[in-house]
Amino acid sequence: MKITDAKVFVGGPGKNYVTLKVMTDQGVYGLGDASLNNRETLPAAYLNDYLIPNLIGRDPRNSEDLWQYFYRGAYFRRGPIAMAAFGAVDMALWDIKAKLAGMPLYQLFGGKSRDGALVYAHATGSDLEDLMNSIAHYQALGYKAVRVQCGIPGMPTASYGVADKGLSDKQFITDFSGIVPKEEIWDTDKYMRFMPDALAQIRDRFGPDLKILHDVHHRLLPREAAQFAKAVEPVGLFWLEDPTPADDQDALKLLRQHSTVPIAIGEVFNSIWDCKQLIENELIDFIRVAVTYAGGITHVKRIVDLCALHHVRTGFHGAPSHSPISMAAQAHLNAWAPNFGIQEYLVLGTPECDALFPSKHRLEQGMMIVSDEPGLGVDFDENEAKQYSYKPGSHPVVRLEDGTLWNY
């Protein structure tokens, strides 16, 4: 069996999805996602210039060897661009293998460990009342878990995760007004004064059963993060995400000494080497990597297995930047993983997205129900894709009030 061709498409409804389609001499094809948010042209170029020419003629069933070939063969290892490109190839090869087997992908991992995978939605409010309404909205839709982000009184611009008026949470993550980012102002003192009490009020309003998550988005110093974690301890959060910048693995030690709040980190990690120390030293409770830019299914499964040895559960990244292809790959991992925790879930559900990526994966009462179709269980409509093309976009950049550059 041989790979005969592969193509990359960039574009999508409100997002620059990077979609890889790998064709074979047996008519079976596989799909992969390399949508590195706001840097999408780069994994697309990596695929077109380096990986696709090396794929033609190879046996698609040898996904492990091809992964090693690209990873070791690059000489310069890791990095989100390369890992996103390897990841897309890897997803496509697993898709082909499971289609050949005539099985849904989770069967190749060891079958299903659960019927539905718990997901969380994003509730957002410009103030606390607004946020309470947003939480109630998701609860009414059947969600059992919500991430809560709130505007901070006196903060000159919206804080992380809060949509501007008129914009839905799905739209605000990428600003399509151009490649030069907007700037936001951050004030740690105002955040520290407001947020713990706001979280306590949310718990009082919604009672003990709602799973409440909060994302600090890398904004605090280690000592501040430890203080914050201590302050929110009575709220009983499901998790506190990215309390400190994720590149410093030692930063969480102080927090761990002072608090038992569950910690989630890793949406920016692209390899097992970024989180090995955090996992082995049991400094985290949830791993946030995504198959999209952490080397695909082969590499993420390796991370999940290491996590299982250290009581770390999964909480894969699922911001709208990921296409339904990598969300499908994660749905299969979620169905299997013995150490599954939760899945962030925002991407599916718009009619345009469903038309471009038809699938039978579905959400029921806050649970993701994996499709039983062979392979990843998601398709890609090339005719639909013709209406979309790449649109430049960016994340905001964050500064303190005196102009010092801070972490987005």
If phi > 0 it is left, if psi is from -120 to 50 it is alpha, else beta; for residue 47 that is alpha
Least separation in angstroms between residue 408's CB and Mg ion is 11
Residue nearest to Mg ion (CB): 215
Concerning whether 160 is annotated as a catalytic residue, the answer is yes
Q: Looking at this protein, which amino acid is placed at residue 99? A: K
CB 106 within 8 A of CB 368: no
Interface characters, 329-348, with ligand GCO (x: CB under 6 A): ---------------x----
Least separation in angstroms between residue 266's CB and ligand GCO is 10
Partner that binds at residue 321, options ligand GCO, Mg ion, none, CB closer than 5 to 8 Å by kind: ligand GCO
Q: How many residues bind ligand GCO (CB under 6 A)?
A: 9
Nearer of residues 95 and 215 to Mg ion, judged by Cβ: 215
Nearer of residues 259 and 321 to ligand GCO, judged by Cβ: 321
Which residues in 267-296 contact ligand GCO (CB under 6 A)?
267
If phi > 0 it is left, if psi is from -120 to 50 it is alpha, else beta; for residue 311 that is left
DSSP alpha helices (H): ranges in 4-127? 41-46, 52-55, 63-73, 80-101, 106-109
What is the C-alpha end-to-end distance of the chain, expressed in Å?
Answer: 46
CB 80 within 8 A of CB 36: yes
Partner that binds at residue 37, options Mg ion, ligand GCO, none, CB closer than 5 to 8 Å by kind: ligand GCO
Among 95, 175, 187, 215, binds Mg ion (CB under 5 A): 215
Nearer of residues 224 and 344 to Mg ion, judged by Cβ: 344
Least separation in angstroms between residue 319's CB and ligand GCO is 3
Neighbours of 397 (CB within 10 A): 14
In degrees to the nearest 10, what's the CA dihedral of 288, 291, 295, 300? 60
Concerning whether 408 is annotated as a catalytic residue, the answer is no
> Max CA-CA distance within the chain?
63
| Residue ranges that bind ligand GCO, judged by CB under 6 A | 37, 173, 215, 217, 267, 319, 321, 344, 395
- Catalytic center residues: 160, 217
